Amino acid sequence: MTHFLDIVIGTFTMRPYVFAFFAAFLLICVPHVGWRRTLTFTAAGYLIAFASEWLSINTGFPYGWYYYIETTRHQELWIAGVPFFDSLSYVFLTYCSYATALFILSPLKTRRWDLVTLETRAIRRSLSALILGACLQTFLDIVIDPVALQGRRWFLGQIYGYRENGLHFGVPLSNYCGWLLTSLLLVGAFQLIDRRRQAKPARGIFTLPFRSLLGPVLYLSVLLFNWGVTIWIGEYFMAMTGILMYSLPILMVIVLALRRVNRYTREEMGEHVRDYPWSPIKSD
């Protein structure tokens, strides 16, 4: 029992950054969709992510052949050869990618000093949100995986490797194809969980200032953390490629968001209020 408690404690103390991002996910997702849907997606997302990793280390699908190095097995929680924290990371990466996709696709309205996305049920469950959210999550991994592969040089530790050296800083292209497939499943799962119409706000939903920006902010925080670690270990070229890859998309999102603010139609406003009658703009 004492050993199990040590492992549980070690799971948190060895990966505080993962649980900090996960806590931020809970603080953002619950006011958005409620406690039940947040917890349901956390469980479903974890199982999908775990299944994808377990399959890949045993069959080579979907990420290609890779392996985990169990150097921390007696210090943190592992499940069937997969570190617990690794599959948990997919949950908050999926949500912040999906929330960023909703921010890009939805009309925007200012409300005094707040900014509200006029998202609708149609936008939330759309094919555009599915594909854009999955691509945004895959792009995150293009930044995350190369520096994670250098884990021996920072506090992650060398926990995994690939059977063959890949083209992208040691990461094989099959890994990114696998991430796109898994991300489609994860975002699709969130859309299915969120699909049921509600006549009143679910428990936990409340007006949070600038809630519409919190998902994109979490997305950028993950990027900045990984760029910071990449620079810290001296991989300047690796960091620069990731920064350049994101520079134009980030600039386009900012410019287009500024152009969309308060340029919604009456029909878009009406659909938003019909779908989410507890929206803060209804009181305006």
The number of folded domains in the chain is 1
Mean pLDDT of 148-154: 95
Element containing residue 251 per DSSP (H, E) = helix 236-260
| Cβ partners under 8 Å of residue 110, min gap 6 | 116, 261, 262
Mean pLDDT of 93-101: 98
**pLDDT in the model for residue 199:** 66
Domain-embedded: residue 180: yes
Mean pLDDT of 106-116: 90
Domain-embedded: residue 223: yes
Token look-up 């990966």 returns: 15
Give the pLDDT band (50/70/90) at residue 16.
very high
**pLDDT in the model for residue 44:** 98
Contact in structure between 90 and 45 (CB atoms under 8 Å): yes
| Cβ partners under 8 Å of residue 139, min gap 6 | 245, 246
**pLDDT in the model for residue 100:** 98
Domain-embedded: residue 283: no
Domain-embedded: residue 18: yes
Give the pLDDT band (50/70/90) at residue 1.
low
**pLDDT in the model for residue 96:** 98
* Percentage with pLDDT > 70 across the chain: 98
Residue 45 has pLDDT above 90, yes or no: yes
Domain-embedded: residue 284: no
**In angstroms, what CA-CA distances link 196 with 34, 36, 123, 199?**
13, 12, 14, 10
The C-alpha atoms of residue 143 and residue 223 are separated, in whole angstroms, by 7
Mean pLDDT of 1-10: 76
Question: Domain range holding 262?
Answer: 2-278
Residue 2 has pLDDT above 70, yes or no: no
Model pLDDT for residues 184-217, shown as the tens digit of each residue: 999 999 999 999 877 677 888 888 888 899 999 9
Residue 265 has pLDDT above 80, yes or no: yes
Residue 3 has pLDDT above 80, yes or no: no
Domain-embedded: residue 104: yes
Query: Average pLDDT of the chain?
Result: 93
Q: How far is CA 20 from the centre of its chain?
A: 13
Mean pLDDT of 229-253: 96
By CB neighbour count within 10 A (0-12 exposed, 13-18 middle, 19+ buried), where does 13 fall? exposed
The C-alpha atoms of residue 153 and residue 55 are separated, in whole angstroms, by 28
Give the pLDDT band (50/70/90) at residue 72.
confident
**pLDDT in the model for residue 7:** 87
